[in-house]
Chains A and B, each alone.
Chain A
Amino acid sequence: MWSYLLRRLLLMVPTLFGVTLVSFAVMQMAPGDPLLLQSGGEGSLAQQGETREAYLVRRRDLKLDKPLFLNLRYFQDWTDQVAQAAWFLGVPREQLPEELVRLARASDAESRARLRFLRKLDIPQFDTRWQKFAGPEADRSDPQVRAGLAALARAVSNHVQVFCENLGDHGVPVAMQLLEQAKDSRQRLGLLRALRYMVVEPFQFTFSRPPRPEEAPRVEAVWRRWWELNRKRLGPLDPERKAVLQRQLQQLLQAPDDNTRFNLLEQEFLFDVSEMGFFVQRLVSEETSLEEKALCALILKLYVPRPLKLEVNEKSTPEEIQQVIENWRLHYQLYRQRYEPSLGRRLLYLFTDTQYAHMVYRLFTFDFGRSTLRTREPVSERIWNAFVVSAPLMALSQVLIYLISVPVGVICAVKHNTWVDRTLSLVLFVLYSIPAYVAGMLLLLFFCYGDYFKWFPTGGLHSDGAEQLGTLAYWADYAWHIVLPTLCLTLFSLAALAMYSRTSMLEVLGQDYIRTARAKGLSQRKVILKHALRNALIPIITLFSNTIPAVLGGSVLIEYLFNIPGMGRLTFESIENKDYPTLMALVYINAIVVMVSILLSDILYVLVDPRISFQSRSQAA
């Protein structure tokens, strides 16, 4: 038995692998960028009330910026492309159209390389637009051509930005290197802009909650740098005030919870920016506890929202630019490990730093992340909430199905070819032919909305204000709500099982041992219940493997009609909202459950029927 089980479990591995592959393929089939789609069609992000930064963070969260199956990016040389991108970013926006025209008319090697880079950006209809608006034949006096050129320039700068964003970490070392060698300010400007696009959150200014010790060096470094830059301006602090600050900090630390702490911070203790030096000193000092450090960082961030400057524009002075470059150097130093992985790591990333690998990792660890809806609820929480709603309903209806259909099948078989059998078979057949959702609508029509029989509620699981009812009344209300959905889920699915048990029973009743039992003089009751039914139940048990998935998966249409927030409804809603993480989790969980229940029913089969051994089954398989 154990070897059979082991074999089956091993066979599950390739199947599981296939399941992840199919789910991945399904998700890839969806057109476009899920995040953009989810927030209402492709358009500029500004319209969607979401910052580009938040969008990028979410995109990286879902690993959508990674290649599908094979990550060669760590082995590619990006120098050329980053330099090109930086060149385009270094051109002031209003001069870009002019530069494009110049580029189109020049024929030196450098310009050709620039054009090649532009072509690779996948700008829609690039070649025709390029010919028409920037090419030598373009008539610059025509306003339409000028408008087209402006649009093209906009598209170029947008696509260069997207290029940098997609390149992400891979471009940073190259950009830093180029920055060290850069000669003119325009090149520097371009590189700094490119860096800004590549790195979403360059610095960590505060600790995560709860604080982790490994974060300390990075946070400290940032604030130390800020203090260095601003020390002269802010001046020293007198010792008296220092003592006050020390006391207040202790008071804050001892605050019982976050709310009181924030109240104190916002209303009681008002600091001045010039006093921040004290907190920096506390933060970087070695004897400070982690809690205190976290608090200091929080206060610092509260009073200095933007400590380190990372953006530059054409109006920046050389000193400013120098400062920003220094800031980026600091960033590069702090995160060097991330940017220059060892060869072994790069080889590992070849297969593991891909969309597919990340998805498999998430699925195998059952860490499904957060929904892409605005609420950003954790997926597992959503699924659990839905499961709790639909599971009792589905379980109840599955139990009812078995309780009704097996006796009906047995009665049909025992009374084979009598009017009982014919009538029951006909009824079963009719039930079999009515789709559950059609029945659901008709039931809703007659018993909820009808003029005569307003017997049942029109949807949902509880009446309004059901929470205030007593326990008994609450459950009575619940029962009243689930009558119709359960009826739909039960009546119109039991026919298949009933017919199946009828056939199975008929087969058993034709066996010799039944004749023997009858010949022995056993009563009809005993023959049917003890000899026939137990054998007839064996094949019915295999159908058990359909039950668990049904309980888990809920019923999309019935839950839709009756407005029940269960698994089926969740499925429907996540498809409608293109909520990938939720959907992926649903697909995966469903598949796993089906797989496991097939295995379970196979095992049950052997346990129930002594004639079948695991040996014979593994030979058959």
Chain B
Amino acid sequence: MSNPRDTYWSIVWRQFRKNRAAYWAMWALWPLFLVSIFAPVLASDRPFVYYDHGQWLFPWFRDLFHTEEPSDFFYNMALVVFLPWAGAAWWLNRRWRRQGMNRPRRLLRILGLYAALTFAAVVLFAWTPLRPANLYFERQFVSEEFRDPQRWGVYAPIPFGPITIDDKSFYRPPMYKKPPTEWTRANDYFPHLLGTDGGGRDVLVRLIYGTRLATTVGFVAVGLYLTIGVVVGALAGYFGGKVDMLISRLIEVMLVFPAFFLILTLVGFLGQSIYIIMVVIGITGWPTIARLIRGEVLKQRNMEYVLAALSQGAGHTRVLFRHVLPNALSPALVAAPFGIASAIIVEAGLSLLGFGVRPPAPSWGALLREAHGNYEYWWLIVFPSLAVFFTVTLFNLVGNGLRDAMDPRLRR
């Protein structure tokens, strides 16, 4: 039974843990993020270390700072700061535990630190001269004379890149390995575990890198529309009157358009880029959230604590954002995991229709698109489908658990 000292969130957490499927799904999400962050460590055709006639080069590390996709750059920065952060986290955790800080708070702070570090690295390396120069832009290390004993490299466990074209192995089935007579690259000894696509690119590697795209689209788009929806809905619910009428009309108008239809039209017109997809999902998703928040804020604003805060001289901004909103946020939070799942579905669907990110960016939907019309390449359908399915299932499970945990009617 609940303890009177419990905070709302500790109650929710306890409820959430009771739902075993949701709990495990939450843990299973961590590998997804880790794969996203560590994708270059798992798979890359750039050697970690390269020995070239007495010279030691580090092409892999330099390559981290020069990516084609912005989401890749972001994740690479997260990878670069990972080790410093892990050390700092271990030290800070020990220190804070001695000071008697409780666990959720420590966890939150440490995760916040990671986000801040990543952000700092992105700013630092994207827009300042500190970014390591792209020295080996022209070089293809794998295809340099690999039988030369004076040249060798240490490669990632899967030595293939996500967008490097190999014109000798188009559409090869899983476990395909080039016959030794055809070897021209240093990584040709390695089998394509899940086959290759129409550009001779390894499907497994593209799936791994596709995780980055999917999670980016999911989180950024949902973050965007949660922010818009919460702010707009809160304004409507709190101030009422004309503001409410205007915003309610706007919400109604936006809800009248079928979401996927609108997204498709906008993306078709505005162009193919990950930014545009995220923004478009963002601007089409906010009305549902705004409506939920508006209802909740309407309920809260007539409560006595609001009156108490106002009578103590607190301004409307403070009352709304410090007192009312935290109490009205739960429906929006419940919607978040489902929203991420559906954003991932939408992104893959857009790519399948050819309106997604521009090829050769590795997206799960792009693989499906390649397979549409070439159904004999079953591995291009089965594996991306599984990836989409598992990711979506995990987010849906977490969402289910969160919904049940936050619903007071189900509390036991």
Chain B residues lying within 8 Å of A30, measured Cβ to Cβ, are 269-270
Chain B, range 249-272, C-beta contacts under 8 Å to A: 249-250, 252-258, 260-262, 264-266, 268-271
Known: A26-B265, A445-B382. A15 touches B371 (CB 8 A): no
Q: A553-B261, A556-B353, A590-B261 are in contact. Are A26 and B253 (CB under 8 A)?
A: no
> CB-CB < 8 A to B268: which residues of A?
575-576
CB distance from B35 to the nearest CB of A (A): 19
Is A103 an interface residue when CB atoms closer than 8 A count as contact? no
Which residues, 573 to 587 on A, are CB-close (under 8 Å) to B? 575-576, 578, 583, 586-587
The answer on a CB contact under 8 Å between B253 and A18 is yes
Q: Which chain A residues (18-69) contact chain B, with CB distance < 8 Å?
A: 18-19, 21-22, 26, 29-31
B254 engages A575 (CB within 8 Å): no
B203 interfacial contact with A, CB 8 Å: no
Q: Establish whether residues A556 and B371, one from each chain, have CB atoms under 8 Å apart when the complex forms.
A: no
Contact: B257 with A587, CB < 8 Å?
yes
**Nearest neighbor of B348 in chain A, beta-carbon distance:** A435
The answer to whether B230 has its CB under 8 Å from any CB of chain A is no
Please determine whether A22 and B254 come into contact, CB atoms closer than 8 angstroms.
yes
Asked whether B376 is an interface residue with its Cβ less than 8 Å from the other chain, the reply is yes
Residue of A nearest to B270 (CB): A29
Give CA–CA (A561, B212) in the complex, Å: 26
In the bound complex, residues from chain A placing their C-beta under 8 Å from that of B353 are: 556-557, 560, 572
CB 8 Å contact bits of B367-400 with A (1 = contact, 0 = none): 0100110011010011001001100110011001
- A448: CB under 8 A from chain B? yes
CB <8 Å contact, A442 and B382: yes
Q: How many A-B residue pairs have CB under 8 A?
A: 115
**Chain A: minimal CB distance from B37 (Å):** 24
Q: Pick the contact of B385 from A441, A448, A586 — CB < 8 Å?
A: A441
Contacts of A442 in B (CB 8 A): 381-382, 385
Hey, which chain B residues are within 8 Å of A557, CB to CB? 349, 352-353
Q: Does A229 belong to the interface (CB within 8 Å)?
A: no
In the complex, B345 has a CB within 8 A of chain A:
yes
Chain B: minimal CB distance from A28 (Å)? 9
User: Closest B-chain residue to A34, C-beta based?
Assistant: B269
The answer for the CA separation of A355 and B120 in the assembled complex, in Å, is 47
Interface size on B, residues (CB 8 A): 43
Q: Which residues of A contact B392 (CB under 8 A)?
A: 433-435
Among A15, A449, A556, which residue has its beta carbon within 8 angstroms of that of B376?
A449
Q: What residue of chain A has the Cβ atom nearest to residue B345's Cβ?
A: A435
- Of B253, B341, B368, the residue contacting A15 (CB under 8 A) is B253
User: Is A269 part of the contact surface with B, judged by Cβ < 8 Å?
Assistant: no
Given A435-B388, A442-B382, A445-B382: A556 and B261 within 8 A (CB)? yes
Residue of B nearest to A546 (CB): B258
Q: Which of B266, B349, B376, B382 has the most CB of A within 10 A?
A: B349
Nearest-neighbour CB distance to chain B for A363, whole angstroms, equals 14
Q: A442-B382, A575-B265 are in contact. Are A14 and B256 (CB under 8 A)?
A: no
Asked if A26 and B262 sit within 8 Å, CB to CB, the answer is yes
**By the criterion CB–CB under 8 Å, are A15 and B256 in contact?**
yes
A381 to chain B, nearest CB (A): 21
A556-B260 contact, Cβ under 8 Å, with A15-B252, A26-B265: yes
Task: Using CB atoms, name the residue of chain B closest to A22.
Answer: B253
Interface flag for A437 (CB, 8 Å): yes
Note all chain B residues with C-beta closer than 8 A to A560.
352-353
Say if the beta carbon of A366 comes within 8 Å of chain B. Answer: no
A432 partner residues in chain B, CB cutoff 8 A: 396
Across-interface contacts of A433 in B (CB, < 8 A): 341, 389, 392-393, 396
Contact, CB under 8 Å: A18 / B396:
no
A429 at the interface (CB under 8 A from B): yes
Most buried by B among A430, A438, A557: A438
Within 8 A of B (CB), among A436-491: 437-438, 441-442, 444-445, 448-449, 458
Q: Smallest distance from the beta carbon of B258 to chain A beta carbons, Å?
A: 6
Tell which of B250, B256, B271 has the most Cβ of chain A within 10 Å.
B256
Interface membership of chain A positions 583-597, coded 1 if the CB is closer than 8 angstroms to chain B and 0 otherwise: 100110011001100
The CA-CA distance from A553 to B260 in the complex, in Å, is 11
Judge whether A22 and B257 touch: CB under 8 Å.
yes
Distance A560 CA – B264 CA, assembled complex (angstroms): 13
CA distance A434 to B378 in the complex (A): 18
Residue A171, interface by CB 8 Å: no
Q: Which of A30, A435, A556 has the most C-beta atoms of chain B within 10 angstroms of its own C-beta?
A: A435
Which residue of the partner chain A has the closest CB to B257?
A: A591
Give the Cβ gap from B107 to chain A, nearest Cβ, in Å: 28
Interchain CA distance A591-B262 in the complex, whole Å: 10
Contacts of A14 on B, CB cut-off 8 Å? Answer: 249
The residues in B between 235 and 289 inclusive whose CB is less than 8 angstroms from any CB of A are: 249-250, 252-258, 260-262, 264-266, 268-271
Give Cα A15 to B256, complex, Å: 9
Do B372 and A441 touch (CB < 8 A)? yes
Which B residues fall within an 8 A CB radius of A? 249-250, 252-258, 260-262, 264-266, 268-271, 341, 345, 348-349, 352-355, 368, 371-372, 375-376, 378, 381-382, 385, 388-389, 392-393, 396-397, 400
Between-chain CB contacts (< 8 Å), 7 pairs: A26-B265, A433-B392, A441-B372, A449-B376, A561-B372, A571-B265, A598-B256
Q: Which residue numbers of A lie inside 8 Å of B, CB to CB?
A: 14-15, 18-19, 21-22, 26, 29-31, 429-430, 432-435, 437-438, 441-442, 444-445, 448-449, 458, 549, 553, 556-557, 560-561, 571-572, 575-576, 578, 583, 586-587, 590-591, 594-595, 598
- Told that A556-B264, A560-B352 touch, could you supply 17 new A-B pairs with CB distance under 8 A? A15-B252, A15-B256, A26-B262, A26-B265, A26-B266, A434-B392, A441-B368, A441-B381, A441-B385, A442-B385, A556-B260, A571-B265, A575-B355, A591-B256, A594-B256, A594-B258, A598-B256
Nearest first, the 6 A-B pairs at minimum CB distance are A18-B253, A449-B375, A575-B268, A30-B269, A433-B393, A591-B256
